[in-house]
Amino acid sequence: MRIVLVGPPGAGKGTQAAYLAENLAIPHISTGDLFRANISQGTELGKAAKAYMDAGNLVPDEVTIGMAKDRMEQADAANGFLLDGFPRNLAQAEALDGILSDAGLKLDAVLDLEVPEEEVVKRISGRRMCRKDGKHIFHVEYSPSKTDGTCDICGGELYQREDDREDTVRKRLEVYHTETEPIIDYYKAQDLVVTIPALGKVDEVTQRAMGALEREA
């Protein structure tokens, strides 16, 4: 399946993507994780992205679309993928349609994770990420690490993201409303959107999403 995951910052996209990609045996492609990996490796792409991310703004489309396209080609889009954090504005959604139609492919579903804003703020302020792997995600209250300050899965150091500061989170939410939400209507017009209520335990949300995908298939 070819799936896009959307939802505000902190909705649980990365958390759900890890389980959904494993259940569906498709690659999880997160543009946020790709940018963070480039930053930690000190690449030119990472240097170009960092200031935008730290300010809570979108990285320019010229950088983002090329990076996402390369990653999809590497994964071989024909075998399916789960996109997390891409597309994030109408230009990116149109570019993705172009990339897929050139390959004779289509999206199967767009999962919209719905979470009230006050919950999103709680989730982001307590989030701790693993330095070794962006897919190991913890929360000081909701899913604490058992090994105090380190990742239970791989032993990596846990850290708080630079862009999880309160003022940057407010900016990211504003950017979500103005730039990203319009893609939901764009995909509704293609009858692809499935809204998933994303409050509740992580595994309950995964079950809701899997149930919705089975009904779509």
Residues of the binding site for AMP: 31, 36, 57-59, 85-88, 92, 161, 172
Confirm whether 127 is a catalytic residue. yes
Angle at which helices 61-75 and 44-55 cross, to 10°: 120
Piece of the chain touching ligand AP5 by CB under 6 A; list 20-28, 52-60, 97-105, 184-192? 52-60
64 in contact with ligand AP5 (CB under 6 A): yes
Asked if the bond preceding 116 is cis, omega within 30° of 0, the reply is no
Distance of CA 68 to the CA centre of its chain: 12
Bridge partners (DSSP) of residue 29 are 83
Which helix (H) or strand (E) segment holds residue 4: the answer is strand 2-6
- Residue placing its CB nearer to Zn ion in the complex, 115 or 158: 158
The site map against Zn ion for 155-194 (x = CB under 5 A) is -x--------------------------------------
Q: Active-site residue among 2, 13, 128, 208?
A: 13
Q: Alpha carbon of 98 to those of 69, 103, 165: distances in Å? A: 11, 9, 36
Q: Nearest approach, Cβ of 195 to ligand AP5 (angstroms)?
A: 15
Confirm whether 13 is a catalytic residue. yes
Give the integer Cα–Cα distance in Å for 189 and 191: 5
Using the rule CB under 6 A, which residue among 29, 53, 151, 213 binds ligand AP5? 53
Bridge partners (DSSP) of residue 84 are 5, 30
What does the buried/exposed string (b/e) look like for 136-163 if buried means 16 or more CB atoms within 10 Å of the residue's CB? bbbbeeeeebeeeebbeeeeeebeebeb
Q: Which residues bind Zn ion (CB under 5 A)?
A: 130, 132-133, 136, 151, 153-154, 156
Q: Which residues are catalytic?
A: 13, 88, 127, 161, 172
Q: Which residues bind ligand AP5 (CB under 6 A)?
A: 7, 9-15, 31-32, 35, 52-53, 56-59, 64, 85-86, 88, 92, 123-124, 126-127, 137-139, 142-143, 163, 172, 200-202, 205
